[in-house]
Chains A and B, each alone.
Chain A
Amino acid sequence: MTAKKTFTIFDQELVPEHRILSEEEKEELLKRYRVKLSQLPQIKASDPAVQALGAKPGDVIEIKRKSPTAGVYYYYRIVVED
């Protein structure tokens, strides 16, 4: 009866921006920090933000966070199965 409401978590002001990195960006990131994929912080595939983005395990997510010290701070997390 009530119209189906679409709800996206990114509309919430406390949820930071998430973005899937392209393959080139991923390469660039790994080279910049000289890390293997397994050394990145992880995020579970079941995470609501990951599901909303439709990211698959193995993808790297860029999170643009607000930081009290730096203003804007980029955080990278690799999607893993849970």
Chain B
Amino acid sequence: MHSMKKVIGSIEFGILSPQEIRKMSAAEITVPDTYSEDGYPIDGGLMDRRLGVIDPNLRCETCGANYKECPGHFGHIELARPVIHVGFAKTIYRILESTCRECGRIRLTDEEIEEYMTKFNVNEARKSEIDALVTEVYKKARERMVCPHCGAPQYQIKFERPTIYWEIRRDEEGNEYRHRMMPSEIRDRLEKIPDKDLPLLGLDPEKSRPEWMVLTVLPVPPVTVRPSITLESGIRAEDDLTHKLVDIIRINARLKQNIEAGAPQLIIEDLWDLLQYHVTTYFDNETSGIPPAKHKSGRPLKTLAQRLKGKEGRFRKNLSGKRVNFSARTVISPDPMISINEVGVPLVVAMELTVPEKVTEFNIEKLRKMILNGPEKYPGANYVIDPQGRRIRLMESNKENIANMLDIGWTVERHLLDGDIVLFNRQPSLHRMSIMAHRVRVMPYKTFRLNLAVCPPYNADFDGDEMNLHVPQTEEAQAEARILMEVQNHILSPRYGGPIIGGIQDHISGGYLLTREGSYFTKYEVEQMLMFAGVDVKELPKPDKVENGIEYWSGKTIFSLLLPKDLTIWYRNKLCDDPSQCEPIEKLIEEKLVPSEEEIRKVATDGFVYIHNGKLLSGAIDKKAYGREDGKILDIIVREYGVERARQFLDQVTKLAIWVITHKGFTTGIDDEDLPDEAKARIREIIMEAEKKVQRLIEAYKNGELEPLPGKTLEETLESKIMAVLSEARDNAGKVAEKYLGMNNHTVIMAKTGARGKILNITQMAAMLGQQSIRGKRLYRGYRNRVLSHFKPGDLGARAKGFIVNSYKSGLSPQEYFFHAMGGREGLVDTAVRTAQSGYMQRRLINALQDLKVDYDGTVRDPTGIIVQFRYGEDGVDPMKSWGGKTVDVDRVIMRTLIKIREKG
């Protein structure tokens, strides 16, 4: 809590010099062993106590701390002969090629050096430019075969992966021969390069001298980096790195012995190469060109590079993504009774997650009570933090004592309470609406509960989905979540500027049942539904009609109670499939702007919504009212009355719709698709006609009478004409079915209001499935010249190539069933491929864009201040707050003003 604050100004990378490695080393490691027989670390071995300890009973000999506090210390190995560092093998090659073999100068003339140096200074900021310059220098220097400084002839150098270098020399007769350059020779050459030439090679002489790329001393990482594990059987298993280091030390010792004993050059070079191999695989065990070092069991060792690389490596697994405290995860389930910005939290979770609350004179009594409740009784507390910053765990034994000591200045980590702000998330977190702030509602049982209207932004359903919950721990974080992240702030999507949170499924069907023409409710029902929806009405409006002495209210009147009192809007909704029905009312409104209620009622139709001053005068509610993606009323409420009002509206309207739909009854089954015999006969006729037409087309094709369409072959022309005939047949069959299924049919209500499904789905259930296709073509693969063996080869007819005349209700024939499976498979493959591809695209896009931000002057810049756009989106408009992409909706402003003027008279 009270640690020293340090700020990282910048990070620079360099290469460790031998001196530095020795300086930071706590011990030289010479013994290729870890533990002695009595189980203690061997001095000078790889588990030397000076490198830190992992045994709880031992103390570190360098810092004197125990295993918990000692961070570990580096050691070192003095290599008998230098070896190449694989990571720099390519760089070494590049440097050797661009410097002189005699004097070590870069192979550029003094004028060229001068010229490039000035260019370097001009392009201070951009890394890409410097990189480009360095490659340019390299290309130029490599071509020069005589040193411009000392005049020495240069030889070509060959690099053999991973760490072998050859010089192609010439003897006196001019014959070429290859000279193997050993690391010591390479190191000598690199040492000769003067500091002043290094910047042109892309190196900083202070931080990375080239000869440091050839290792003479090898750092040994602390024991804490490579802990050994004791298995249950009592056998000690060493880390992969330790194994590798053992190999290195062993070969190193042998090499040293042989050199000292004056062994033949050949043997020494063999051992040297072996040492090189071990050091190479110690750094990277996936180096191409050499076999990976294996464990006794045959498993390749995980060495340094493998620890860092890839999705499971240190960077992506542990640094870009970390595990966090104060979070919970469990299965989700729906609760239509809670608000869209609430989340139901199980009691057990609420007692585990805590919020730190500072003790003030206003909350001390409340917090004292919570401390007395302790960690086991809700609402209690788990920890307290005293003014010295000590964390004390609350237990049955000490809670009373602590409650007495509690004073202003303490902090109590209390259980989650109703109204606390938490972040709620479902993976994959593809857009910002995947993490939103909700208010806590502590509930019994063990699932997170969420309102159905927030399923779309999370893309959640309840077939076993799990979600995560995080508790912000500071006041700043809580305030930020409240202001920026709460659900109601995300009703409008920044993607298309319309609502992404809105009524779904039964909310829409219910809204329709409530508001369609001829829908009336008794006083009892009205009271019930308003109470259920939580609408606060002081007095019911006048009843719309009285029949046999009973008062009735229309659904439109009730719906109007939820609307803001001065809301005016009109639009054609989804039910308006015949424009001539809607034209009269639209004309009337646009001409008069403030027509009288009687006039409107005369031309009112379900297909045209007209709301004047918060009164629904015409039209039924469907998806276009408050559904997701195109809820116009919801859209207007968010923009003109604010997100809080929109949240309230959405909460009330969904509950109201649910009351109506549960009390009216809404169900669907296969008998919804029952068609009268005459309809079935009509559909049969349509099919027969279509098949005849197809036959005629095939005849024409066979007789060569078919005229090819422009840009198509004769066969393609035939195919597209057949497809057109068949899809028209299906459409016609659908229209017949539609004609016999009216607005009292629940499937039709769902399809037409946009609650669920399309008319096409009804067509496929009631009339026929129609043509099955793969990649937009009729089915053609399978047997030779036919799809199934039930047809004649070369049959071009409708039924032979996947035209299904049956409906889901009438049942498919075996052939049709197979065709349907073929078409269905394409859809499945498509979704699988699409998610994989779009996931990868998402990753690439995010990596490219993640650090861009909009500055206060409206420009889009990268972190170094380079401008990407001079104005965000070229117009500086926040798509979430715009009107269909524009800053203001001029038409609406004019309309509202005109209405105001006319109303005043």
Chain A residues with a Cβ under 8 A of chain B:
33-36, 38-41, 65, 67, 69-70, 73-76
Contacts and interface: CB of A to CB of B under 8 A. Distances in A.
Contact-size category for B: 20 to 34
B126 A73 contact: no
B870 interface: yes
Contacts of B126: 38
A39 B868 CA distance: 9
A33 B125 contact: no
Interface of B: 123-126, 857, 859, 861, 864-868, 870-871, 873-877, 885
Given A39-B865, A41-B867, A75-B870, 14 more contacts: A33-B857, A38-B124, A39-B867, A40-B866, A41-B866, A41-B868, A67-B875, A69-B874, A69-B875, A69-B885, A70-B874, A70-B875, A73-B874, A73-B875
B857 A39 contact: no
Q: Which 7 pairs, one residue from A and one from B, show the smallest C-beta to C-beta distance? A: A70-B875, A69-B875, A67-B874, A73-B874, A70-B874, A38-B125, A39-B866
Contacts of B861: 39
A33 B859 CA distance: 8
A40 B885 CA distance: 27
Contacts of B870: 33, 73-76
A8 to B, nearest CB: 26
B106 to A, nearest CB: 22
A69 B885 CA distance: 7
Contacts of A70: 871, 873-876
Contacts of A75: 870
A56 to B, nearest CB: 14
B126 to A, nearest CB: 6
A73 B125 contact: no
12 contacts: A33-B870, A34-B857, A35-B865, A35-B867, A36-B865, A40-B867, A41-B868, A69-B873, A69-B874, A69-B877, A70-B875, A73-B870
B885 to A, nearest CB: 7
A73 B857 contact: no
Contacts of B876: 70
Contacts of B123: 38
Nearest to A76: B870
Nearest to B877: A69
Q: Most B CB atoms within 10 A — which of A39, A65, A74?
A: A39
Nearest to A77: B867
A39 B124 CA distance: 11
A27 to B, nearest CB: 17
Nearest to A72: B874
A40 B873 CA distance: 17
Nearest to B879: A69
B870 to A, nearest CB: 6
Contacts of A65: 874
A28 to B, nearest CB: 14
A27 B868 CA distance: 19
A58 to B, nearest CB: 10
Interface centre among A38, A65, A67, A74 (most CB of B within 10 A): A38
A35 to B, nearest CB: 6
A74 B871 CA distance: 9
Contacts of B885: 69
A38 B877 CA distance: 27
A76 B115 CA distance: 29
A73 B859 CA distance: 13
A70 B876 CA distance: 8
A73 B866 contact: no
A39 B866 CA distance: 4
Nearest to A32: B857
A35 B125 CA distance: 12
Contacts of B875: 67, 69-70, 73
A73 B861 CA distance: 17
Given A34-B857, A69-B885, A39 B864 contact: yes
Nearest to A58: B122
Contacts of B874: 65, 67, 69-70, 73
A74 B859 CA distance: 12
B886 to A, nearest CB: 9
A73 B876 CA distance: 11
B125 A39 contact: yes
A75 B869 CA distance: 8
A17 to B, nearest CB: 16
B888 to A, nearest CB: 14
A36 B126 CA distance: 12
A3 B124 CA distance: 49
Nearest to A71: B875
Contacts of A38: 123-126, 866
A75 B859 CA distance: 11
B869 to A, nearest CB: 8
Nearest to A74: B870
Contacts of A69: 873-875, 877, 885
Contacts of A67: 874-875
Contacts of A34: 857
Nearest to A70: B875
A82 to B, nearest CB: 9
Contacts of B864: 39
B110 to A, nearest CB: 22
Contacts of A76: 870
Contacts of A36: 125, 865
Given A34-B857, A38-B124, A73 B871 contact: yes
A72 to B, nearest CB: 9
Given A38-B123, A39-B125, A69-B885, A33 B867 contact: yes
A76 to B, nearest CB: 7
Contacts of A40: 866-867
A28 B511 CA distance: 59
A38 to B, nearest CB: 5
Contacts of B873: 69-70
Contacts of B857: 33-34
Contacts of A73: 870-871, 874-875
Contacts of B859: 33
Nearest to A73: B874
Nearest to B857: A33
Contacts of B877: 69
A38 B126 CA distance: 8
Contacts of A33: 857, 859, 867, 870
B787 to A, nearest CB: 46
A75 B875 CA distance: 12
B890 to A, nearest CB: 15
A12 B865 CA distance: 34
Contacts of B867: 33, 35, 39-41
A80 B874 CA distance: 24
Between B868, B870, B873, B875, the greatest number of chain A beta carbons within 10 A of the residue's beta carbon is seen for B870
B35 to A, nearest CB: 58
B862 to A, nearest CB: 9
Nearest to B882: A69
A52 to B, nearest CB: 23
B395 to A, nearest CB: 58
B133 to A, nearest CB: 11
A35 B867 CA distance: 9
A61 B170 CA distance: 55
Nearest to A80: B129
A33 B855 CA distance: 10
